[in-house]
Amino acid sequence: MRPKIKKVDTNKRKKMRKNAQKILERQTAMFLDHPKECCVCSTPFERTKKTVQSWQVVTRDQRVRLTCPTCWTKVEEALETLG
Ligand SMILES: [Zn+2]
For residue 68, the CA-to-ligand 1 centroid distance in Å is 4
**By three-state DSSP, how is residue 70 classified?**
helix
Out of 15-19, 27-31, 45-49, give the one with best mean pLDDT: 45-49
Q: What percent of the chain has pLDDT over 90?
A: 37
Quickly state the pLDDT bin for 8 (edges 50, 70, 90): low
pLDDT at 62: 76
For residue 21, the CA-to-ligand 1 centroid distance in Å is 28
pLDDT tens for each residue of 54-77: 999 888 787 888 999 999 999 899
Whole-model pTM: value is 0.55
pLDDT at 3: 73
Quickly state the pLDDT bin for 7 (edges 50, 70, 90): low
pLDDT at 12: 53
Torsion sign, CA atoms 16, 22, 26, 29: positive
For residue 45, the CA-to-ligand 1 centroid distance in Å is 10
**Cβ 41 vs Cβ 71: under 8 Å:** yes
User: What's the CA gap between 69 and 38, in Å, rounded?
Assistant: 9
For residue 22, the CA-to-ligand 1 centroid distance in Å is 28
